[in-house]
Structure 1
Amino acid sequence: MRTRAITTAALLTASAALTACSSSQAGTVAEPTAASSSPNSTVSKATAPSTLAFHQLHKSSSPGDDEYEAYSVTATVLGYEQPVHASESAADEIHAPGNVWAALDVKVCNQTGEITVSNEPWQLSYADGARVKPADFQYDDFPQPVYPDDDTDVPTGGCVRGKIVFNVPGGKRPATVVYSTEDDAPVSWSVPAA
């Protein structure tokens, strides 16, 4: 029986929009305390609003099959910061004058089964329909701790929390954070006004 990978393109498309950049310095932490519009609220696929609030949990699960083990996970966005400081300029990095670095703080917890996470499923979505993926690299002075950018196993009962960095237009703010995996429908969180 194979283990289900919940990574960037194959992570649990836990119906939530989130974005963040990270590196291989991921930290595993205890199960999160959920808080959002109502503290400790968890939202499942069946009852999920179209857009969640920061700190609101999205729960995703699969009963498993002959090829993959069953799993149950939660995902949430904890914060968004723009701009964030780094020694290298975001504008110079991709030759886009006016661009800045932004950081998304996210957390995914494995309730049951075996999962693998990465930053790939997270994107920032703008009102005009533009989407921004996490930065392809990390600088040492990016916000810490970083969320894994490569496949990282998360044991049952474990969580991974970290910051995902994006190279974004400085004069705009994303409307939502989108979390999309091959196993679930995309989910999104509303980004609060600055």
Structure 2
Amino acid sequence: MRRLTITTLAAGLLLALTACSNDPAAPTVSKTSSSPEPVATTSSSSPSPTARDTTYKLGETAKVTTDDATFTVTALAYTQPVKGPQPPDPATQGGDVWATVEAKVCSVSGITLTVTQFPWSLAYADGTVVKVTGSTGGDLPKPEFPMDQPVTNGRCIKGKIPFPVMNNTRPERVVYAPEALGATPIEWTVPKQ
């Protein structure tokens, strides 16, 4: 199973999705454009989605529908380097500068969601994945994306998520992969500059 990264669904949703992962009515992910067709589905009877089906441009929104909730998720921007409280330590944090992903999650309908930074990560061309440190507060870029924040229907949570990265390389993709979904990760392409 995938490790939880940034936005985690409420405990009830997590249990429901874990218990129903083989259910034909499993979660779907779709672009919020005018096309009503699902982009990715976790149903065992459906073909696997291609990377093109679950990859977006920064700023595009993915709509996720489960048995218990419908919500949207967007990677709005990627910035590297960013001033932080101090440069990260490559020996302990794996990077020499801070980067941020500005993210937004909105609850559309269903149960109350709980968001966190942990479903988010950065993916590089060589297969390297950089996960969040879980650091909050201090001089980290504001506004920060919250940890363990409930989001009720019709409300959104938005903020910046810090990542320790090496200054001389940029990731290819921002990845959103909450374990509770059991779906193909949602990805946004990071521009080369």
Identity of aligned residues (%): 33
Residues 2-81 of structure 1 correspond to what in structure 2 (within 5 A)? Answer: 3-5=12-14, 41=33, 46-47=38-39, 49-63=53-67, 70-81=68-79
TM-score, length-scaled by structure 1 = 0.71
Paired with 1:43 and 1:77, the residues of 2 have a C-alpha distance of 20
Q: Which amino acid aligns with 2:63?
A: K
Q: What residue is the counterpart of 2:48 in the other structure?
A: none
Greater fraction strand: 2
Deviations 1:68-89, CA, capped at 9 Å, x for gaps: xx20000001101100112312
Structure 1 gap ranges (5+): 7-12, 17-33, 35-39, 64-69
Mean Cα deviation higher: 164-173 or 83-92: 83-92
User: Any idea what SS the aligned residue of 1:94 has?
Assistant: helix
Cα distance in 2 for partners of 1:174, 1:45 equals 29
How has the CA–CA distance of structure 1 residues 95 and 121 changed in structure 2, closer, same or farther, with 3 Å as cutoff?
closer
| Distance (whole Å) between structure 1 residues aligned to residue 80 and residue 54 of structure 2 | 24
Over 3 Å counting, the alpha-carbon distance change for 1:43 and 1:169 in structure 2 is farther
Letter in 2 for 1:185: T
Equivalent residue, structure 1, for 2:132: 134
Alpha-carbon separation, structure 1, partners of 2:144 and 2:163: 12
Displacement of 1:93: 7.2
Residue 192 of structure 1 aligns to a residue in which SS?
A: coil
Segments of 4+ in structure 1 off by > 4 A?
13-16, 42-45
Aligned residue number for residue 155 of structure 1: 152
C-alpha distance 103-43 of structure 1, shift in aligned 2 (>3 A): farther
Which protein has the bigger helix share?
2
Unaligned runs of 5+ in 2: 1-10, 16-26, 41-52
Q: TM-score, normalised by structure 2?
A: 0.72
Alignment partner, residue 3 of structure 2:
none
**1:99 aligns with one of 96, 101, 105:** 96
Distance 1:85 1:100 in 2: 8
Deviations 1:121-158 (A, max 9, x none): 00000000110111221342111110013x21100101
RMSD: 2.8
CA 1:87–1:177: 2 relative to 1, 3 Å: same
Query: How many angstroms apart in 1 are the aligned matches of 2:126 and 2:137?
Result: 29
Amino acid at match of 1:160: I
SS in 1 for 2:13: coil
Match of 2:119 among 107, 118, 121: 121
Q: 1:157 to 1:51 in 2, by over 3 A?
A: same
- Which SS does the other structure have where 1:55 is aligned? coil
Q: Give the equivalent residue in structure 1 for 2:142.
A: 144
Residue identity in the other structure for 1:61? T
1:161-181, CA deviations, whole angstroms, 9 ceiling, x for partnerless residues? 000000011111000011001
For 1:90 and 1:164, the matched residues in 2 are separated by: 14
